[in-house]
Amino acid sequence: MRQTFLAQLEELNNDVIKMGSILELSMNEMIGALYEKDIEKAKKIIDRDDEIDLLEQHIERECVNIIAKQQPLASDLRKITSIMKIITDIERIADQCADISEYIIKLSKYPQMEEPKSLELMIEAMKKMVINTIDSFVEADLEKAKAVIEADDEVDNDFEKITDELSLTMQNKPELVPQCVCYLMIIKYLERMADHATNIAEWITYIVTGDLTVG
């Protein structure tokens, strides 16, 4: 019984890691598509969203099955219920890659404008958070999870800075309003991606310490 349980728990773990890998792939392609205004790449990311949804449903069912059949206690149960939360956040981050891809397609229909100055910084900070949060799950690394939570302020600051920059651009060059609105929505999604990475890091903290302060 314990043997089966450990095998099931390992399979569950591997499935979450697999979901994280697909997310990283989508995220990197989304970033590439955004820089290159690559419509084909953007469409591919939107299509891939189904794959993540199916994997989420599969893991969800696995979790319920393990709880029902193995009746795990204490720390194992905490891990499984946390995984049920983590996969929702992973799925949402993937959703946001697809949402941004829609705006990349929209953006490509207008004349190109110069990218907001801090966009690359914001993307790099957010990307690091998502990768580190997946890593901290794989390694059960509390320090790494803590660093993710702390990094969220940086992304929020970048968001404010870019919003101000885009507002100024729209005031000075009203003809660029449609493009700037696309960028406003894109940075809002980037900010949400960082928020979900923070949620995951908080769930990892809960798995390791049992301390529930997710909010």
Contact region with a second copy (CB under 8 A), list: 39-47, 115-123, 140-148, 173-181: 173-181
Six token digits for residue 125: 């900070």
- Shortest CB 98 distance to a second copy, Å: 11
| Given 4, 14, 21, 167, the residue binding a second copy (CB under 8 A) | 167
Q: Does 113 help bind a second copy (rule: CB under 8 A)? A: no
Site string for a second copy, 80-99 (x = CB under 8 A): -x--xx--x--x--------
What is the per-residue DSSP string for the chain? -HHHHHHHHHHHHHHHHHHHHHHHHHHHHHHHHHHHT-HHHHHHHHHHHHHHHHHHHHHHHHHHHHHHHH---HHHHHHHHHHHHHHHHHHHHHHHHHHHHHHHHHHTTSPP-PPPTTHHHHHHHHHHHHHHHHHHHHHT-HHHHHHHHHHHHHHHHHHHHHHHHHHHHHHH-GGGHHHHHHHHHHHHHHHHHHHHHHHHHHHHHHHHH------
Q: Does 1 help bind a second copy (rule: CB under 8 A)? A: no
- Shortest CB 87 distance to a second copy, Å: 10
Distance CA 24, CA 32 (A): 12
- Shortest CB 153 distance to a second copy, Å: 15
Q: Does 56 help bind a second copy (rule: CB under 8 A)? A: yes
Contact region with a second copy (CB under 8 A), list: 63-71, 113-121, 123-131, 137-145: 63-71
Segment 133 to 162, residues that bind a second copy, using CB under 8 A: none
Binding residues vs a second copy (CB under 8 A): 53, 56-57, 60-61, 63-64, 67-68, 71, 73-74, 77-78, 81, 84-85, 88, 91, 163, 166-167, 170-172, 174-175, 177-178, 181, 184-185, 188, 212-215
